[in-house]
């Protein structure tokens, strides 16, 4: 049998398995992206395997326990019992699935350059078990060229050739945690392959689990698409953050301005200011593009300026806290300050890169006595980039609120009773316009 026939046979075998849902889908990295992806494929009728080096996560999943709020524990337990989902920390089993979807972290290092160590380590683990006919798809957000220039060479050290012996593609993760209108099922998936066969197979796989696939001409286009999506948000959030500071100095409420502007039915999309950027995408991804631009002897001044504006916002908020305390004759030092919300956005349990941690750092440096409440984050996790105290969420009672010198609203969870907060807190600094509908006690509220 000729080489072309062998390639066609491998592709057809995988194509048939995908079509008949006998293909086993493996997801590497069982976090906020990987676990919902498992759920999407299980509910589409596939058998799945979930790989994670964190054995405590794997043990919890095997017991039927979820650690992500919007993935119910009973669903995990039933899927494990039905053998539709097998969690494991054993990377020697990476040869078992027919498709491997990589959902590992891609942080920045101390100098704000891309840290691809998780992708590279995962690629080596896959290479150790890679077999002909497998499909490998990278979902981790990264710069254009990563799939072809970083992932592919590591996998091809096996002697197997991408696009011939195995198939390789990129499909950027798209998650909107806390938004019930968008799930892994309902968000279209952009897909790019290293060749036409890889693109076709990856698109066929995802088309069974998501509402629609959007094939593009290359991995690089798919990678650039994700960077564009998040840079767009970063730049527009920076714009409204900068306008917030300007309008505050002019005595204009930026929130009212945005509400008025968004009545225009064309040419305007509303973005909202806040205490800083959080999450695993927007504070990080634009700097991947800046790094790539430097490699091509270009500068991305617009993106870098947006990053500077957003990075400065926690400092601006702390200055507003200082001013608010000054109005009642108090200093930050020795003041009891409660942070409401440490998750990076409302109604989620994800604290990654949350601006609340930077706020805590800055207030702690100034001598504040800190505490917090977050119904979704019962204990402050240890953070790589932030020096925060070891605290547990305090009950949000009238007594707790009244005992504070200042309550700082950092995340506007739906569970919060803003009337209660304003009624009992002596002083409130609101970074999210959460108290806009509270009438009684408005004199105690300072916008930041």
Q: How many whole angstroms separate alpha carbon 397 and alpha carbon 419? A: 12
Q: How many whole angstroms separate alpha carbon 221 and alpha carbon 400? A: 52
- Maximum distance among all Cα pairs of the chain, rounded to whole angstroms: 86
3-class DSSP assignment, residue 306: helix
Catalytic residue list contains 281: yes
Q: Which residues contact 63 (CB under 8 A, 6 or more apart)?
A: 77
In the set 103, 219, 225, 281, the catalytic residue is: 281
3-class DSSP assignment, residue 413: coil
* CB environment 378-416: b (16+ within 10 A), e (fewer): eebeebeebebeeeebeebeeebbeebbbbbbbbbbeeb
* Tokens describing residue 247: 């309008």
Burial class (CB in 10 A: 0-12, 13-18, 19+), 310: buried
Burial class (CB in 10 A: 0-12, 13-18, 19+), 298: exposed
Q: Which region holds residue 163: left if phi is over 0, alpha if psi is between -120 and 50, else beta? A: left
Q: How many whole angstroms separate alpha carbon 352 and alpha carbon 385? A: 10
Q: In residues, how long is the chain?
A: 448
* Tokens describing residue 101: 């979807």
* Tokens describing residue 437: 């509908």
Q: Which residues contact 426 (CB under 8 A, 6 or more apart)?
A: 328, 402, 404, 405, 406, 444
Catalytic residue ranges: 281
């Amino acid at each position: 049998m000729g080489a072309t026939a062998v390639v066609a046979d491998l592709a057809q075998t995988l194509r048939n398995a995908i079509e008949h849902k006998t293909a086993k889908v493996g997801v590497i990295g069982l976090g906020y992206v990987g676990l919902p992806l498992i759920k999407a494929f299980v509910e589409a009728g596939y058998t799945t395997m979930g790989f994670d080096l964190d054995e405590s996560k794997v043990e919890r999943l095997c017991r039927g326990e979820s650690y992500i709020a919007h993935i119910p524990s009973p669903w995990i337990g039933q899927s494990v019992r039905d053998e539709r989902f097998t969690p494991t920390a054993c990377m020697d089993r990476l040869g078992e699935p027919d498709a491997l979807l990589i959902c590992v972290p891609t942080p920045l290092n101390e100098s704000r350059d891309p840290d691809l160590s998780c992708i590279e380590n995962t690629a080596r683990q896959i290479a150790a078990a890679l077999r002909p006919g497998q499909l490998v798809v990278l979902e981790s957000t990264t710069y254009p060229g990563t799939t072809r220039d970083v992932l592919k060479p590591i996998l091809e050290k096996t002697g197997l050739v991408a696009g011939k012996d195995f198939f390789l593609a990129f499909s950027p993760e798209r998650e909107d945690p806390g938004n019930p209108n968008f799930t892994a099922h309902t968000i279209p998936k952009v897909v790019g392959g290293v060749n036409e066969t890889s693109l076709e197979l990856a698109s066929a796989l995802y088309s069974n689990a998501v509402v629609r696939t959007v094939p593009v001409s290359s991995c690089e286009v798919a990678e650039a698409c994700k960077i564009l999506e998040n840079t767009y948000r970063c730049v527009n959030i920076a714009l409204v953050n900068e306008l917030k500071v300007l309008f505050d100095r002019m005595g204009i409420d930026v929130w009212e301005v945005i509400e008025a502007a968004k009545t225009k039915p064309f040419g305007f999309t509303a973005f909202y200011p806040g205490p800083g950027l959080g999450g695993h995408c927007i504070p990080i991804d634009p700097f991947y593009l800046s790094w790539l631009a430097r490699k091509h002897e270009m500068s991305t001044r617009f993106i870098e300026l947006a990053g500077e504006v957003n990075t400065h916002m926690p400092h601006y908020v702390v200055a507003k806290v200082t001013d608010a305390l000054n109005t009642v004759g108090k200093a930050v030092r020795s003041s009891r300050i409660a942070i409401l919300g440490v998750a990076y956005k409302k109604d989620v349990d994800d604290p990654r890169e949350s601006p609340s941690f930077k706020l805590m750092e800055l207030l702690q440096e100034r001598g504040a006595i800190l505490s917090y409440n977050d119904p979704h984050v019962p204990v402050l996790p240890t953070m790589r980039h932030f020096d925060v105290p070891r605290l547990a969420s305090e009950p949000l009672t009238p007594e707790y609120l009244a005992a504070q010198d200042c309550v700082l609203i950092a995340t506007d969870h739906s569970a919060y009773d803003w009337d209660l907060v304003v009624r009992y807190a002596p002083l409130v600094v609101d970074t999210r316009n959460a108290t806009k509908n509270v009438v009684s006690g408005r004199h105690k509220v300072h916008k930041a």
